[in-house]
Amino acid sequence: MANTFALILFVATVLTGIIWCIDKFKWAPARRAKQAQAQVQTGNALDEKTLAKVAKQPGWVETAASVFPVLAVVFVVRSFIYEPFQIPSGSMMPTLLIGDFILVEKFAYGIKDPITQTTLIPTGEPKRGDIAVFKYPKEPSVDYIKRVVGLPGDRVSYDPDSKTVTINPACDNGQPCSSALPVTYSDVQPSDFIQTFSGFAGNEAGNGFYEAPQGETMKGGLRLGTRNETLGEVTHRILLVNEMQSQPGLYYRQPGQQQATWGVPQGQYFMMGDNRDNSADSRYWGFVPEKNLVGKATAIWMSFEKQEGEWPTGLRLSRIGGIH
């Protein structure tokens, strides 16, 4: 859908730009010449209103010429500088909530062709801990947003029992080092969020996420746990469903690696959601190629109180600002 919109915007910009150029350099001079000739023939007796009728600019030309500058600015900003995105699911909670509208820095990971996503000018690479938007590898028309956990050459392991990550970063030869990156965790504490379920055996798909004061309960709901995760120098909060066990049998099994361990290939990245037990991420479908990267999430510019697939019920103005 995003690529389709980019293509439509590109075509509209080009078409209106062509009309603007033809009008500016051919049709407009011809109209002015015709008006000047009419003034000569009438002895300069025509007022501006009458003169305009002598060689009137067609309505469709006027519309295209006036729309072109707006489309051009939108196309450039959206394609190469910043693009707005809406958070549709809870996979990045508590960092990003359903209903958050974010700005994505398009030039953070290279200036790319907005249609083919080919890198035109390299400007930077993802850093561990970045929140990145990318094209879902299995369906590139869909945009995903996750946190960068594994860089090219890293070996990433996930313990489904303790729900912790171990990372052996790449050494100078591009292979994983024997020493692990410092990844630390705080104790699990009750979070401010309750997740409701379609059934209540503790493992059914969740229906919604609700902020609720400590001690408050909801029918068919579980209070999520939270703790800080520090990946090297980046610290952020993650959410856990304490009563839910991970299902490593569903993880992506990389040839030559043990279960729940992945060696990140060169030019690819390992992504995980902050809502660890509610995120379909690299643990389940593999790696994100560099060409799929769209940009880095940098700020929340609007936030609506809502649930997935439902209409907003209010505003969360306090969430507007940088993403931490």
Distance CA 280, CA 291 (A): 20
CA torsion through residues 270, 276, 280, 283, sign = positive
- The catalytic residue among 146, 163, 296, 306 is 146
Structural element, H or E, at residue 136: none
Structure tokens at 116: 């083919």
| 146 is a catalytic site residue | yes
DSSP one-letter code for 122: -
Distance CA 138, CA 286 (A): 10
Tell me the residue type at 196.
T
Distance CA 149, CA 82 (A): 23
Structural element, H or E, at residue 159: strand 155-159
| 291 is a catalytic site residue | no
C-alpha distances (whole Å) from 133 to each of 6, 137, 187 are 16, 12, 29
- The catalytic residue among 89, 91, 279, 282 is 91
Residues with a catalytic annotation lie at 91, 146
